[in-house]
Amino acid sequence: MILAEEHGITQANVDDGLAQSPSPEVDRLLGKQPELSKAIGLRADWAYQIIKQVGDYGEIFERNLGKNSVLRLPRALNRLWTDGGLIYAPLMI
């Protein structure tokens, strides 16, 4: 979910990301290169299904803790590392 957010893949555009991504890492994440998923015993589309059903990390944070929730907590250190936070995704090699 974090990797999806880093690449701008959201619940609304995951189908476009699956069809048009130029990134091999996104291809692996969304199941177009199923070797890694099979190696760890998961279906090729496991991450696609998660993103399609609940969104990326940012969407989930905002819906449950952030600006779209009752709590309205700021993301603060829960932002991506590229935005000054501590959240990063390991590479999907």
Distance, in Å, from the CA atom of 9 to the CA atom of 21, rounded to the nearest integer, reads 10
> How sure is the predictor about 36, in pLDDT bands with cuts at 50, 70 and 90?
confident
Distance, in Å, from the CA atom of 6 to the CA atom of 91, rounded to the nearest integer, reads 11
pLDDT number for residue 41: 94
Tokens 């070797």: give the residue: 35
**Average pLDDT score over residue span 2-15:** 95
Tell me whether residue 55 is in a domain: yes
Tell me whether residue 24 is in a domain: yes
> Who contacts 63 (Cβ-Cβ below 8 Å, separation ≥6)?
55, 69
Tell me whether residue 92 is in a domain: no
Tell me whether residue 10 is in a domain: yes
**Two tokens, residue 22:** 């130029």
Domains held by the chain: number:
1
Tell me whether residue 75 is in a domain: yes
> Who contacts 69 (Cβ-Cβ below 8 Å, separation ≥6)?
62, 63
pLDDT number for residue 5: 96
Q: Which domain holds residue 14?
A: 2-83
Tell me whether residue 89 is in a domain: no
> How sure is the predictor about 21, in pLDDT bands with cuts at 50, 70 and 90?
confident
> How sure is the predictor about 56, in pLDDT bands with cuts at 50, 70 and 90?
very high
